[in-house]
A and B are shown apart, each in its own frame.
Chain A
Amino acid sequence: MTDATLSFEEAMEKYDPVLGFEVHVELNTKTKMFSSAPNVFGDEPNTNVNEVDLGMPGVLPVVNRTAIESSIKIGLALNCKIAETCRFARKNYFYPDTPKNFQTSQYDEPIAYDGYLDVELSDGTIFRVEIERAHMEEDAGKLTHMGGATGRIQGADYSLVDYNRSGVPLVEIVTKPIEGAGSRAPELAKAYVAAVREIVKNLGVSDAKMERGNVRCDANVSLRPHGRERFGIRSETKNVNSLRAVEHAVRYEIQRHAAVLDSGEPIVQETRHWHEDTRTTTSGRPKSDADDYRYFPEPDLVPIVASREWVEELRATLPEPPAARRKRLQADWGYSDLEFRDVVNAGVMDEIEETIAAGATATVARKWWMGEIVGRAKNADVDPGQLGVAPATIVELNRMVEDGKINNKMATEVLDGVLAGEGTPAEIVAKRGLAVVSDDGPLLEAIDAALAAQPGVADKIRAGKLQAVGAIVGGVMKATRGQADAGRVKELILQRLGVEG
């Protein structure tokens, strides 16, 4: 059964979207939040666990200091206030992803609250997203549903549980309702999650790999008629786990809500599941605000007191915020707004920075990354940084071009050789015999042949029409199979014809 939807444009004409996000960030501490078992992804199931993670009777959790410090850093980077004192609570529920039958979480006393994040949209517009809170909790185990449709809980015969992820430290970042995004809501959704991901990666507190679930997003969407202040009823789409999916899920939910409202039906307040294959959501369990988790303060843990000295010490260790870094790099490199935005959107800002550090100019670094590597990465369906081009390779290629050893066309050929694993640029130039023909003898022969072949052009050049020289250069390049230095060829042609260049 598929839900009805309106076109996005029609939905926008009739309704005003209000968004809200809960982003879960897995911290990259060496150990878990409350136990000394390792926090490692991808190991054999149920090997990174001890008695605390398995909720054995009589065990005592102990808080990981580094996880608290990472959480405070996240709070500071999101411009939050840091609570002087806060506590953990038990969120009680029966579900096989937690063997304790409760999740240790923060409830009414988050470690960070009242912040904001300025999010930059693709055209440079800055949109401020208010942060309600960032609180600490532990991750749950991983369920695999067996039988029935692949991987879905519906129709499963049984489920398998791996508790390696159980107890991994999480920080959940909750926004205030986001109003005023209008038709840019899907784009803002993606940009917000990207900005959070960038911040936690930049802080070094999370590996921030969405494909591994290090950053996971629940997206709340509601619609209201234009001009109405009261919010509509929201749906919460769970576990939208790529930037692209966040954008698509918000867009889809807006279209679905609009169709429901248009039909005169009320929106059901519920959890929705995102399906990447169909790019749609389906209904999960209805959610009521009266979900009774019977929260109470965790009696096995004592309060966290973040002294102002401690907070300031941590603030002093914060790296340059990503937005400030971007501003600095653009100024240093002298790129136009458009050039820089293209670099950021192509995901090669870090690579260009490394290439410049390795000795290339900003112009050369951009030329190679944007002109050659981004396209090849797209064809190979990988991130440009993952293609396997080292900054040193670009510097070497460029030096060869500048020294006249090879021309630009050969340089791209050498790059392909490097990517094919044929060796260093110098080795490939030698192996493929790509050196530019710099001995004037063979060049002059080719020039004479080209002039003889196009006597009319030769006359024009003699008469002072210097732009006509291109046709002769072209003939020479063809004859030498592109192995000549075009600049040198032009010089020699003019010399040959006795014309001042």
Chain B
Amino acid sequence: MAAINRDDVAHLARLAHIEMSAEELDRMAGELAVIVDSVKSVSEAAGDDVPATSHPIPLTNVFREDVVGHTFTAEQALSGAPDAYEGRFKVPAILDEG
């Protein structure tokens, strides 16, 4: 598994529109490196004879009936948005055309 360095974290933060200070980037790169290392040790423990597991409990077919439930108002939906316009989320220009 590839290591995660400070540049990777800065790249992801930019994609996700999360503002991070230099100290935060240092700290997060360190923390994520520990997590990746931990996952790596799991990969080492599981041999080729262990099938890939996506869920810890062998459940199947957890369904919901097709019945309408609750919704947000547009105001509620937009309450956490950095910017909005006429009931819609407003996002910066998508293409980098500089």
* Residue interface mask B14-43, A partner, CB < 8 A = 1: 011000000000000000000000000000
Q: A36-B70, A49-B72, A303-B54 are in contact. List 4 more A-B contacts (CB 8 A).
A: A31-B67, A65-B63, A299-B54, A299-B55
Q: Name B59's closest neighbour in chain A (CB-CB).
A: A302
Find out whether the CB atom of B63 lies under 8 angstroms from the CB atom of A163: no
* Residue interface mask B45-67, A partner, CB < 8 A = 1: 00000001011010111111111
* Residues of chain A in range 260-315 having any CB-CB distance to chain B below 8 Å: 296-299, 301-305
User: Number of residues in A with C-beta < 8 Å to the partner?
Assistant: 52
Find out whether the CB atom of A64 lies under 8 angstroms from the CB atom of B66: yes
Q: Does A162 contact B (CB under 8 A)?
A: yes
- Within 8 Å CB of A49, what residues of B? 71-72, 77
Interface size class of B (residues with CB under 8 A): 35 or more
Closest chain A CB from B88 CB (angstroms): 4
CB within 8 Å for A66 and B88 given contacts A302-B61, A304-B61: no
- In the complex, 29 of the A-B residue pairs with CB atoms within 8 angstroms, ordered by the A residue number, are A29-B66, A30-B67, A31-B69, A36-B68, A37-B68, A45-B74, A45-B86, A46-B78, A46-B88, A49-B71, A51-B72, A62-B64, A63-B63, A65-B66, A85-B60, A101-B15, A143-B94, A153-B94, A153-B95, A158-B92, A159-B90, A160-B85, A160-B91, A161-B90, A297-B52, A302-B59, A302-B62, A303-B61, A305-B61
Find out whether the CB atom of A163 lies under 8 angstroms from the CB atom of B89: yes
Find out whether the CB atom of B60 lies under 8 angstroms from the CB atom of A162: no
Residues of B whose CB lies within 8 Å of any CB of A are 15-16, 52, 54-55, 57, 59-74, 77-78, 85-95, 97
Q: Does A194 contact B (CB under 8 A)?
A: no
* Residues of chain A in range 208-266 having any CB-CB distance to chain B below 8 Å: none
* Residue interface mask A127-140, B partner, CB < 8 A = 1: 00000000000000
Find out whether the CB atom of B60 lies under 8 angstroms from the CB atom of A305: yes
Q: Does A87 contact B (CB under 8 A)?
A: yes
For the complex, give the distance between the alpha carbons of A94 and B17 in Å.
10
Q: Name B91's closest neighbour in chain A (CB-CB).
A: A96
Q: Name A157's closest neighbour in chain B (CB-CB).
A: B93
Find out whether the CB atom of A160 lies under 8 angstroms from the CB atom of B90: yes
Find out whether the CB atom of B63 lies under 8 angstroms from the CB atom of A38: no
Closest chain A CB from B74 CB (angstroms): 4
- Within 8 Å CB of B16, what residues of A? 94, 101
Closest 4 pairs between A and B when the two form their complex, measured CB to CB: A36-B69, A297-B54, A66-B66, A65-B63
Find out whether the CB atom of B63 lies under 8 angstroms from the CB atom of A62: yes
For the complex, give the distance between the alpha carbons of A108 and B66 in Å.
26
- Within 8 Å CB of B67, what residues of A? 30-31, 36
Q: Name B62's closest neighbour in chain A (CB-CB).
A: A302
Find out whether the CB atom of B68 lies under 8 angstroms from the CB atom of A46: no
Find out whether the CB atom of B60 lies under 8 angstroms from the CB atom of A30: no
